[in-house]
Chain A
Amino acid sequence: MGMPCFLGIDVGSVSTDLVLMDEQGKLLTSLYLRTRGKPVETLQEGLHQLGEKIPDATVRGVGTTGSARQLAGIVVGADVVKNEITAHATAAKSLVPDVQTVLEIGGQDSKIILIRNGVVVDFAMNTVCAAGTGSFLDRQAERLQIPISEFGKCALRAKSPTRIAGRCAVFAESDMIHKQQAGHSIEDIVAGLCEALVRNYLANLAKGKEILGPVLFQGGVAANAGMAAAFRRELGMELVIPEQFGVMGALGAAILAQRRVSKGLPTKFVGFAGASSPCKTGGFICAGCSNRCEVTEVQRDGVISARFGDRCGKWSTRSEAV
């Protein structure tokens, strides 16, 4: 019998994060991988690495979150499949019990979560705009040929940040190019971008919401010192950036898994080896009616293990029988 622990998995658009947490809620190890458009392969690779890192781990429960939570849940046999908001709030509360505001910016979406007396009382997620999220910053870093890890530090060196229109990713980019052609320094442009994105975030998500401290800043973008500095300036408040800022979603999923199995349920985890058996995913458009649902299919060892995405249940219920 190895060390009992809980596995949390967050498969997002940009990164795939895995954490192993012990029974006392202590983080044993964590992994931060790039999803690179291949969620299943990345997840299997991550599980393989975790299994090698801590060979004596006995997984008692698994939770998945992130935009590929359903798919990941099928691949590993998850006990809990939870949305990102609940997972992030859970992790934030476990690290800073009196947290009142969580700012989270990930690869494809950004969120604000308000917590009062340990209860999530309000939240907002960016609706129809991707400006200010990790993938946009990624793309700009790539265009300016600055490594993403240096991008934030570059902003800190700015002397007088330029004003960038941060309302929309497309306009922000053309505005940045305009400023660059007008002769502004890269540092000033990058710092201006950070400020624009923070303004946009606060105007879009935090509108009418009372931001009280402690404020936690988490998600992949929390690594960006420029963004953190811009938030501090704009809010006039100190930010707490947890050490595990990049894997908070996964940590939350692990905590939720622990809560679920604490009710005495055995885990559905298929094991590190089981999860690595070849999985093939594919999709088709059902021609059964004018709805034309996109059905996703997961095959394991040549057998269909799950189908989802249909509205009528014609495919998803059938796969349960398999």
Chain B
Amino acid sequence: MKVTFPHMGNIYVTAKVIFDRLDIDYVMPTLRNRDALEKASAIAPESICLPFKIILGNLMEGLDNGADTVMFGGGHGRCRLSYFGDLIKETLEAQGYSFHYLFLDFNHFDFKEFTETFSPLVQGVGKIQITRGLLEGLHTAFAVDHLYSLSCRIRCREVHRGDTDAVMQRFEKAILCAQNAGLILAEMREAKRDLRAIPLKKDFKPLRVMLVGEIFSACEPFVNLEIERKLGNMGVDVYNMLGIGSWIRNRFLGSVFPFIARDDPIKAAQHFFGTDDFGGLGMDTVGNSSLARKQGMDGVIQIYPMNCMPEIVAETAMPFVQKEEKLPIMSLVVDEMTGEAGYVTRLEAFTDMLEMRRGAKVISR
């Protein structure tokens, strides 16, 4: 069996570690592949969201390059009313692909189902090795998220523009070339050391912006046009609330051990919506935004792909959050037609506005 999987932000780092430890043969689609996106757009339902098209493009590329098994997961965020995974499968099959489809449904996580789905992949691998591989994968998911958020802390404060980008670029290249899990873990430690060694401005208080919205858009630089990097290079500290790590903690582990999940955002959002879920991560978007000021943020940016139903619902609450919290919130909608110039204009204008507000002490900190 040869596996392929879609990209979402830095999830590939974790995937590489797990596949290597469990001796699973895999094909990794190219990162940020515009050709694959164009191919997928041609066959995907026309008005479907950008993440769907990118995932479809990744899987087609994987299958074209010799994979016979597709690994995909979903749940909790009820995208397309939980039909997202099935729609991916059906769209691929309609194109004549035949493959094993390993779908992990997190909505009703069941250990027995989990082992039944994935056991064909790990035949002949010892239980201890499997446990070790999965734990190392878990560690990687958290560590790589931590590394990226550290890069946001450093980038906005660096003395010499470009130091952080250079470290992260070298890191990404090294991960793509790394042949085994040990090397990947070593690269992560090295990148962290390199980031810590970057000279920083003293007594500089950068603007702090929280990033909320749809998880794929917020994590994937190909979709959000490298929003973390762009804002960071304008001297803004970005707190991305969406990442693999927080998703695993709140949604995946949280469904098994509810006490780990951080549910304050959901509680905060219930002030605006009398429900606990309206699909996707919409409740988190509203909740995190309404908690942002208390966490010392200067502003919030909501990002979501065009036609994303849960985030459109969430956006309707934003004027009220903004009024109550006296905190600026900007919503950005992206799709494959998004013009970079207009996007940058909005980011720059938002930053200028936050700076002006801070100067005039509109925000009580």
Chain A residues within 8 Å of B, Cβ to Cβ = 67, 82-86, 109, 116-123, 125, 127-128, 207-209, 289-292, 311-313, 317
- Which residues of B, 321-356, contact A by the 8 Å Cβ criterion? 322, 328, 332-333, 335, 337, 341-342, 344-346, 348-350, 352-353, 356
Residue of B nearest to A209 (CB): B319
Assess whether B31 is in contact with A128, with CB atoms less than 8 Å apart: no
Whether B319 pairs with A207 at a CB distance below 8 angstroms is yes
Whether B162 contacts A290 by the Cβ 8 Å rule is no
Residues of A within 8 A of B322 (CB): 122, 208
Q: Which of B32-40, B42-50, B70-78, B177-185 lies at the interface? A: B32-40
Interface size on B, as a range, is 35 or more
* Contacts beyond the supplied A83-B344, A290-B34: 16 A-B pairs with Cβ under 8 Å: A67-B342, A86-B348, A116-B362, A121-B357, A122-B353, A123-B349, A127-B332, A127-B333, A128-B306, A128-B333, A208-B320, A290-B30, A290-B31, A290-B33, A292-B34, A313-B165
Tell me if B226 counts as interface (CB < 8 A to partner A): yes
Listed in ascending order, the chain B residues whose CB lies under 8 Å from chain A are 30-36, 162, 165, 169, 222, 226, 306, 318-320, 322, 328, 332-333, 335, 337, 341-342, 344-346, 348-350, 352-353, 356-357, 359-360, 362
| Chain B residues, Cβ within 8 Å of A85 | 345, 348-349, 352-353
Contacts A208-B319, A317-B162 given; indicate if A117 touches B33 (C-beta within 8 A). Answer: no
CA distance A120 to B319 in the complex (A): 16
Majority secondary structure of chain A interface residues (helix, strand, loop or mixed): loop
Within the complex, which residue of B34, B352, B353, B357 is in contact with A291, where a contact is CB–CB below 8 Å?
A: B34
Instruction: Report yes or no: B328 in contact with A121, Cβ–Cβ below 8 A.
Output: yes
* B contact residues around A120 at 8 Å (CB): 352-353, 356-357
The answer for the CA separation of A124 and B335 in the assembled complex, in Å, is 19
Report 7 cross-chain contacts, Cβ distance below 8 Å, ordered by A residue: A67-B341, A83-B345, A208-B322, A290-B34, A291-B32, A291-B34, A313-B162
Determine whether the beta carbon of A121 is less than 8 Å from that of B342. no
**Is the Cβ of A290 less than 8 Å from the Cβ of B32?**
yes
Min Cβ gap B272→A in Å is 13
Q: In chain B, what residue has the closest Cβ to A207? A: B319
* Contact partners of B352 in chain A: CB under 8 A: 82-83, 85-86, 120
Given the complex, which residues of B lie within 8 Å of A67, measured CB to CB?
341-342, 345
The listed residue with most A CB atoms (<10 A of its CB), out of B30, B35, B345, B360, is: B345
Take A290-B31, A290-B33 as given contacts and tell me if A122 and B328 are in contact as well, using a CB distance cutoff of 8 Å: yes
C-alpha spacing A117/B357, complex, angstroms: 10
Among B165, B226, B349: residue with most chain A CB under 10 A? B349
Which A residue's beta carbon lies closest to that of B306?
A128
B17–chain A nearest beta-carbon distance, Å: 22
CB distance from A66 to the nearest CB of B (A): 9
Chain A residues closer than 8 Å to B32, beta-carbon distance: 289-291
For residue B36, give the distance in angstroms from its CB to the closest CB of chain A: 8
Closest to A312 in B: B169
Which of A122, A125, A289 is in CB contact (< 8 Å) with B346?
Answer: A125
Cβ-neighbour of A119 out of B335, B341, B356 (below 8 A): B356
Known A-B contacts A290-B34, A291-B32; A119 and B357 likewise in contact (beta carbons under 8 Å): yes
- Chain B residues lying within 8 Å of A317, measured Cβ to Cβ, are 162
Contacting pair B319 A83 (CB below 8 A): no
Contact B353 A123 (CB under 8 A): yes
CB distance from A305 to the nearest CB of B (A): 20
